[in-house]
Structure 1
Amino acid sequence: MNAPLKVTKIGNSAGVILPKEILARLRVGPGDVLYVTEAPDGIRLTATDPSFAEKMALAEKIMREDRDILRELAK
């Protein structure tokens, strides 16, 4: 998706209005939090906390590596 966004004055700040299609793809609505991170190709806007995603990836790696130990602990 390639959608140009216009920067608009909002009080003493500036902001952009996100079209409903982008809100739907992000699965967010008014009051939700978005995260901005730098990426090699520019800026990334996501609905998920990047630090949480990193922690989940590490947890999944540990669960794969220690599957047998976790299975025994679950008994």
Structure 2
Amino acid sequence: MIELKVCKFGNALGVVLPEEVIARLNTQEGAPLYLTEAPDGGYHLVPYDPAFEKKIATTEDIMHRYRDTLHRLAK
């Protein structure tokens, strides 16, 4: 567990992420991070948009189910 402290930045509040967290998230300054609610009531901080991940999974499912049709249309 890593303890973070809430700091005031102008009129907003924020946290400073230690380098080890930034490295593990594989992120950099200016990159978006997404705070999502976990089923247990907590939160997860992730470097990708979970909604986009769901769209990709749906697309891959469609591509798998209609592989032959898409192959014929590509000709």
Gapped runs of 5+ residues in structure 1? Answer: none
**Counterpart of 2:48 in 1: which secondary structure?**
coil
One-letter amino acid of the counterpart of residue 56, structure 2: M
Q: Which residue does 1:63 correspond to in 2?
A: 63
Structure 1 residue 74: deviation in Å?
2.1
Q: Which residue does 1:8 correspond to in 2?
A: 7
Structure 1 residue 13: deviation in Å?
1.4
Cα distance in structure 1, aligned partners of 2:57 and 2:28: 26
One-letter amino acid of the counterpart of residue 60, structure 2: E
Cα distance in structure 1, aligned partners of 2:74 and 2:26: 34
Gapped runs of 5+ residues in structure 2? Answer: none
Cα distance in structure 2, aligned partners of 1:74 and 1:25: 40
Deviations 1:16-57 (A, max 9, x none): 111111111211111111111111131111111121111101
Aligned residues: 74
Q: TM-score, normalised by structure 1?
A: 0.86
RMSD: 1.2
Cα distance in structure 2, aligned partners of 1:73 and 1:64: 14
Q: Which residue does 1:45 correspond to in 2?
A: 45
Q: TM-score, normalised by structure 2?
A: 0.86
